[in-house]
Amino acid sequence: MPLETTGARQRLALARLTTGLAILNTLWHLPPGDALVDEWSRKEDGEDPRPGRLSAEQYEA
């Protein structure tokens, strides 16, 4: 009796599609890098900047 793999393939394809759409949705709703730089600069007035921060260009990439 041959194994039925068509159902498994369809479920895997649907899982991949759903995951991809969830990732795109998350990335679509992220704020632009400039908004984060403005927020950080307001919080950093008088404070030492934290190491390892991303620039706006790095965040956008």
What pLDDT score does 21 carry? 95
pTM across the whole model:
0.47
Candidates 47, 39, 23; CA nearest to 56 is 39
Q: Decide if pLDDT at 51 tops 60.
A: no
What pLDDT score does 1 carry? 45
For residue range 9-46, what is the model confidence (pLDDT) as tens digits?
A: 899 999 999 999 999 999 888 877 777 777 667 666 65
Chain-centre distance for alpha carbon 29: 9
Q: Give the DSSP per-residue string, 9-48.
A: HHHHHHHHHHHHHHHHHHHHTSPPHHHHHHHHHHHTTTSP
What pLDDT score does 16 carry? 96
What pLDDT score does 39 carry? 67
34, 56 contact by CB (below 8 A): yes
Q: Decide if pLDDT at 6 tops 60.
A: yes
